[in-house]
Amino acid sequence: MPLTREQVVGAALAILRDFGLADLSMRRLARDLGVQPGALYWHVKNKQELLGVLAGRILAGVPLPAGGVGPGASDGLGAVRRVAADIRTALLSVRDGADVVSLAQALTPESLAPLTALRSLLADSGLGERQARWGARTLTHYILGAVAEEQTHAELAAAGLLAGDREAGGRGAGSGEPGGDEAFRFGVDIVLAGLAGLSASPA
């Protein structure tokens, strides 16, 4: 049976979930699929394109408000909070998910709908176009950085490399563990509080 693009992406996602981004190479992917590395390039032109596809797959389940929320809508920032939380959930569902999406975002900034939706939602909440663009970029950096920290911490804890985890029987006490949902929401709210104080007219 001929190799398909869906098989390539599915196998790549399986490697990512089971072993992480460091183990995801085109050679490893070809080996797992039982093909020569050259066979992969009929379906993805390079690893960068593959990472972009994987990032889209990771974020595919993030629900987006249909048609925005309307100019100046009071729930505009509430919609941003919900999308930010859903992006975090999606990233945490895949090992190194934040790193994969960060790479894809750097390569093709406009390709990931949930991230570009943040800009539209901020504009709908009353910000000017430039403020919404910069605000969305700031919020995206926060989301990706916060989740990357959570995922790195989890990897280090699993490897027994955090002194606090060893001393506390693996519970994370005293190890600088990220604060989870509450800490993430706090960070999002700090960003949004700053944006809410800006003028709606472009700076």
Q: What is the DSSP string of 50-98?
A: HHHHHHHHHHTT----TT---TT-TTHHHHHHHHHHHHHHHHHTSTTHH
- Residue in the block written with tokens 């100046």: 72
Q: How far is CA 141 from CA 1, 24, 40, 118, 187, in A?
A: 42, 24, 32, 12, 11
| 122, pLDDT greater than 80 | yes
Mean pLDDT, rounded, for 85-94: 97
pTM of the model: 0.86
Confidence of residue 169 (pLDDT cuts 50, 70, 90): very low
Report pLDDT for 196.
87
Radius of gyration of the chain (CA): 19
Contact 202, 133 (CB under 8 A): no
| Residue % of the chain over a pLDDT of 90 | 72
d(CA 131, CA 122): 8
Report pLDDT for 203.
47
Mean pLDDT, rounded, for 33-51: 96
CB atoms inside a 10 Å sphere around CB 21: 18
Report pLDDT for 184.
96
Confidence of residue 20 (pLDDT cuts 50, 70, 90): very high
| Mean pLDDT computed over every residue of the chain | 87
Structural domains of the chain in order of their starting residue, each with its CATH number: 5-45 (1.10.10.60), 63-196 (1.10.357.10)
Look at 70-74, 161-165, 186-190 and tell me which has the smallest mean pLDDT: 70-74
Report pLDDT for 177.
62
Mean pLDDT, rounded, for 193-199: 82
Report pLDDT for 75.
64
- For CA atoms 154, 155, 160, 162, the dihedral sign is negative
Nearest residue to 58 via CA among 20, 100, 108: 100
Look at 68-72, 106-110, 167-171 and tell me which has the smallest mean pLDDT: 167-171
pLDDT digit string, tens, across residues 54-79: 999 999 999 988 755 444 444 678 99
| 148, pLDDT greater than 70 | yes
d(CA 70, CA 41): 43
